[in-house]
Amino acid sequence: MADNSLQENRLSLARASLREALARYSHLRQGTKNSNNTELEAALQYQLDILTSTSEKLDRNVIRIAAFGMVSRGKSAVLNALLGQKVLQTGPLNGVTKWPRSVRWTIPSIPTAEGTEKIQVELIDTPGIDEVGGEVRGDMAKQVTRQSDLILFVVAGDITRTEYQALCELQAAQKPLILVFNKIDLYPELDRKAIYQSLQALGNSEQLADATDSEDLGDRQNNSSDQSTPKSPAKTAKSLEIVMVAAEPAPVQVRVEWSDGSVTHEWESPPAQIDQLKHKILTILNREGRSLLALNALVEARDAEANIARQVLKLRQTEADDLIWQFAKYKALAVGLNPVAFLDVMGATVADLALIRSLSRLYGLPMTGYEAGKLWQTIFSSAGGVLLGELGSSFLLGFGKSAAAVAPQIGFSTFAGVAVTQASLAAYGTYAVGRAAQVYLEKGCTWGPLGQNTVIQEILATIERNTIIDRLQQEFKI
């Protein structure tokens, strides 16, 4: 089990990162009301709400576990079995669950460091992945997946192509996933073992690629009604944990002998076989629950902050273009008229740095001195030819202007020609700097001492071996 104090430190880092991000964008809530672009304004407000809700979830120490699966696979029954009581509605008809619903799960206490709050767990039930219409289903699934820290994917036998495609999409969300094989009471022992081995084979990428050609991955039987389903990409099912359960076993008939010698037969519901799944979840939560909570919050906040930066750049595009060309115009004028080469170089550098700072203030996006220096590295690698040419010509052409200025016999036309050439290079160089700054301001907001990418790297560097996060960390894209 991971050191509790270490996990608490990871949570503290994540909280500090999200609070800094919220403080950074607090001015945007009022600023967007003055925008004429209501569509962009709504998109920006949505991302700000995601950032706020993620921070609140982290502050409340809430771990969310979501159950996905096709209709009639027993998702609600599995969650009821974990809860120990029938809270979520189940029934013989398909599609009893119409909308996602969350319930609090009271579990045995998870050890905490002294003075820290206990972890709370919420279970989220979802409609069948094949029940809700395409776009609505996709949006609903993405929203629930984004909010979840652990995913239960419930099947009731050999996995179908639709289930496989949904499984791949869920795994792409960078969340730990447990494959729950439910209704094992309906299968003889040999069939149950064969299905379990078939599910285990999902870890073989080559078999996955071939298996999607059939409707049923276990027995390879084709179903003509599903032939129109597109083949999903060959993707290895990474870190796949498989647990067998019988959440709501079918009633069995029992013989009852009474004291008067009479015999009757009654139907009795066996107890749920859920202990293996409960033990698996509690082991994950005890060992790395806080680390999962921290990392998932950071990933969610990172995506939200990147989207915020993208929307801000769109909202301020016209003002930014005017600002860049204004700097380019005045820089070109100053460089063209100045006869001293050294002042050309110094002035051009100062002007470009001032442009970067001005863009940062316009967008309300962070730009520290360290980040401004890092931006120069980006500029020189992406637009280095232009800028190096500008700075180099500042010396060469600047000396030419100086000679023309101090030696009238050279002529004004020479001075003017050199000045125009240098001014053009200076203006284009400023334009390149402005565009590079926009790219960096959009992508660089998640870096810095408490940026989400920086904190994610720090956490992953200290993750214990042979944990779910250790197996998943290649999925945390940085």
The pLDDT score that the predictor gives to residue 41 is 76
Identify the three-state secondary structure at position 95.
coil
Q: How confident is the model at residue 36 (pLDDT cuts 50, 70, 90)?
A: low
Tell me what pLDDT residue 15 has.
93
Structural contact between residues 421 and 282, judged by C-beta atoms closer than 8 angstroms: no
Q: Name the more confident of 345 and 453.
A: 453
Per-residue CA distances from 127 to 81, 82, 383 (Å): 18, 18, 50
pLDDT-derived band at 189, boundaries 50, 70, 90 = very high
Residue-level pLDDT at 135: 55
- DSSP-derived 3-state class of residue 181: strand
Give the per-residue pLDDT at 235.
42
Q: 433 is written with which tokens?
A: 């700097």
Could you report the per-residue pLDDT of 378-396, keeping only the tens digit for each? Answer: 555 443 434 444 445 555 5
Closest of 353, 306, 274, 258 to residue 78, by C-alpha: 274
Please tell me the predicted confidence (pLDDT) of residue 372. 57
Q: Give the pLDDT mean for 81-91.
A: 83
Asked if residue 180 lies in contact with residue 153, where contact means CB atoms within 8 angstroms, the answer is yes
CA distance 477 to 173: 11
What does the block give as tokens for 69?
Answer: 């699966």
> Whole-model pTM?
0.74
Are the CB atoms for 219 and 157 separated by under 8 Å?
Answer: no
166: pLDDT strictly greater than 80? yes
**Which of 74-83, 101-110, 214-223, 409-418 tops mean pLDDT?**
74-83
Alpha carbon of 465 to those of 85, 241, 461: distances in Å? Answer: 36, 16, 11
User: Based on C-alpha coordinates, what's the Rg of the chain?
Assistant: 31
pLDDT digit string (tens) for 316-332?
888 899 999 998 888 78
More confident of the two residues 406 and 130 = 130
Which of 300, 293, 172 lies closest to 238 in space, CA to CA? 172
pLDDT digit string (tens) for 410-421? 445 555 666 677
Under 8 Å between Cβ of 113 and 10: no
Query: Which pair of tokens denotes residue 377?
Result: 């590295």
